[in-house]
Copies of this chain bind each other. A is one copy, B any other.
Amino acid sequence: MRGFRTDLAMERISEESGRLEGVNMSTHAVGGVKRTRIVIESGRAAKLLGRPRGEYITLECSDLYKCTPERRQLLIRLVAQAIRVMLPKEGEVLLVGLGNRNVTADALGTRVIERILVTRHLQETIARDMQGKLRGVSAIAPGVLGLTGIETAELCRGLIQHVKPAAVIAVDALAAFESQRICNTVQITDTGIEPGSGVGNHRLGLTRDTLGVKVIAVGVPMVVYASTIARDAMANLMEEYGVMNPEHPKAAERLLTQVAQGVLGSMVVTPREIDEMVLSVADLLSEGINLALHPALDADTLHTYLHP
C-alpha cells in the first residue's frame, strides 16, 4: 500500500496485484472510455488490498464532466449497464445520497438524489400502460452526522425495515489518490460503502452486513489529499534524477510520504471548478441510475415523469 488514502479499488491495485491470486482484472476501451472490471475473489486478496470481496467496475474518461453529447450518452449507458448487472431482477430499490449538501465537494450524493425518478408513492396512481414498467423507487439524502446527530447507516436501517427494498443504491463523493482522477472516474461496486470512506469520512459503513440487503455503491472522486499531490511530483523528480535507490523502493516511498505529510498535514483539496463539476457529474450519474431502474422508459417519458 502506498500509504495515501483512496476510495478507489483500482488505485489499490498496482500492475502486479492485477495478477495477484484471487484478483481478477480486465480492461477494455469503448469510444474513449476505459472500463475496468475488478473482482476480488479470495479473502486473502481482500485483506492484502484492504478492500472487501466483490465486484468493482471503473469507468475512466479524461473529460468526463464536459465531454461531447455522444460520449455522455455512452457513459450513461455504461453506468446503467454496470448497475443493472448488480441489481436484483425484481423488488423495490432505495436510493441513498450520502454527504453534506452545504459542502460543494461533498454534495454529489444529494445532487444525484434530487434528479432521481421516485415512483414508490405512485404505484397506484400511474397510468395503466406504465404499471409493470416502473419499478418502485424511493430516495433519501438525510444529511451528515454533524447536522442530524444520526448516522446515515442508523437511519437507513430503520427505513429498510419499513420500505423493505430488494437493494440499496448509495451515491457518494470519494477521495482519490491521483489528482487527475477527480471528476474523471466513476466507480460502481456491489460491496457498498465502507466505514471511513468518502469526502466526509463516514463513521459507519453501508453494507449488506449493516443494512441486511445488497448495497450497490456509485461514487466519483471529488477530493485528494494535498500530500498526495506533493508525493506525485516528488516521486517523479526522484525517478527522473536517479535519486531513488531501486533496491529500496519502499524506503523511498516512506520518505516521500513522511515529507509530504509533514509539510502539508491532512489538507484535503478540490479543484476550483468543483461547483460546475458536481452538477455535471450528478446529471450524468442520475441519468445512468434512472435508466438502470426503468429500462423500459425512453428518455422523453422519463423527463415527463421527472418534471410533471
Chain A positions within 8 Å of B, measured between CB atoms, are 66, 69, 102-106, 114, 118-122, 136-143, 145-151, 154-155, 157-163, 179, 199, 223, 226-227, 229-234, 236-237, 240, 243, 255-256, 259-260, 262-264, 267-276, 300, 307-308
Q: Contact between B259 and A237 (Cβ–Cβ < 8 Å)?
A: yes
Given contacts A104-B104, A179-B264, A233-B230, contact A158 B162 (CB under 8 A): yes
* B-side contacts of A256, CB under 8 Å: 237
* B-side contacts of A240, CB under 8 Å: 259
Q: Contact between B150 and A159 (Cβ–Cβ < 8 Å)?
A: yes
> Which of A139, A150, A236, A264 is the most central at the interface, judged by chain B CB atoms within 10 Å of its CB?
A150
Q: Is the interface of A mostly helix, strand, loop or mixed?
A: helix
Given contacts A159-B158, A269-B226, A273-B103, contact A120 B233 (CB under 8 A): no
* B-side contacts of A199, CB under 8 Å: 272
Q: Contact between B149 and A276 (Cβ–Cβ < 8 Å)?
A: no
Q: Contact between B157 and A150 (Cβ–Cβ < 8 Å)?
A: no
Q: Contact between B269 and A272 (Cβ–Cβ < 8 Å)?
A: yes
Complex CA gap A240/B69 in Å reads 50
> Which of A140, A259, A269, A276 is the most central at the interface, judged by chain B CB atoms within 10 Å of its CB?
A269
Q: Of B158, B274, B300, which contacts A158 at CB under 8 A?
A: B158
Q: Contact between A118 and B140 (Cβ–Cβ < 8 Å)?
A: no
* B-side contacts of A229, CB under 8 Å: 226, 229-230, 264, 269
Chain B minimum-CB-distance residue to A122: B149
Within the complex, the shortest CB–CB distance from A306 to chain B, in Å, comes to 11
22 example contacts (A-B, Cβ-Cβ < 8 A) are as follows A69-B300, A103-B272, A104-B104, A118-B146, A119-B149, A121-B145, A121-B149, A121-B150, A140-B143, A150-B159, A154-B163, A155-B158, A158-B159, A158-B160, A199-B272, A227-B233, A233-B233, A233-B263, A234-B237, A236-B259, A237-B256, A268-B272
